């Protein structure tokens, strides 16, 4: 089961193994590391374990993966968006819950 996370509080309190993190792209670093700013202004580090990556001009992103420690997520899948709101993120979360194994290549 995935849990949509849009705030640092939710990420810190999350007990699920899989999360779906949504936020504004702050920085893209070599090696697949991405900083996302969530709805409450806190930032989360997302590391990609797969070849899927964000385009350099991505404005918003949704990452599906597992919480590694603290405010870090190991992501299997990234999706980027020009615009994002909660409704968009919730639709994407449903897609991952339904087709997550396919999207991760499993």
Cα(84)–Cα(96) distance, integer angstroms: 16
How many residues appear in the chain?
106
- Secondary structure E strands in the chain: 2-5, 18-28, 33-37, 43-48, 60-69, 72-81
Given this model, what pLDDT does residue 9 score?
63
Express each pLDDT in 31-72 by its tens digit. 768 888 887 788 888 887 654 566 777 788 888 777 877 678
Cα–Cα distance measured from residue 93 to residue 73, given in angstroms and rounded to the nearest whole number:
16
- Please write the tens of the pLDDT for every residue from 4-19: 666 666 666 665 567 7
Q: What are the respective helix, strand and coil percentages of the chain, to the nearest 5?
A: 25, 45, 35
pTM: 0.67
By CB atoms closer than 10 A (0-12, 13-18, 19+), residue 54 is buried
Question: All domains of the chain, ordered by start, with CATH?
Answer: 2-103 (2.40.50.140)
- pLDDT at residue 106, as a whole number: 43
Count how many Cα atoms sit within 13 Å of the Cα of residue 89 in the half-sphere of its side chain.
23
Question: When comparing pLDDT for 11 and 24, which is higher?
Answer: 24
């Amino acid at each position: 089961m995935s849990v949509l996370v849009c705030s640092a509080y939710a990420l810190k309190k999350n007990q699920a193994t899989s999360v779906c993190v949504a936020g504004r792209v702050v920085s893209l670093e070599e090696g697949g590391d991405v900083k996302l700013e969530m709805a409450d202004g806190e930032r989360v580090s997302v590391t990609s374990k797969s070849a899927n990556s964000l385009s350099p001009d991505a404005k918003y992103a949704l990452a599906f993966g597992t919480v590694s420690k603290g405010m870090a997520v190991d992501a299997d899948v990234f999706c980027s968006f020009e615009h994002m709101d909660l409704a968009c993120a919730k639709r994407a979360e449903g897609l991952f819950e339904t087709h997550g194994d396919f999207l991760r290549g499993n």
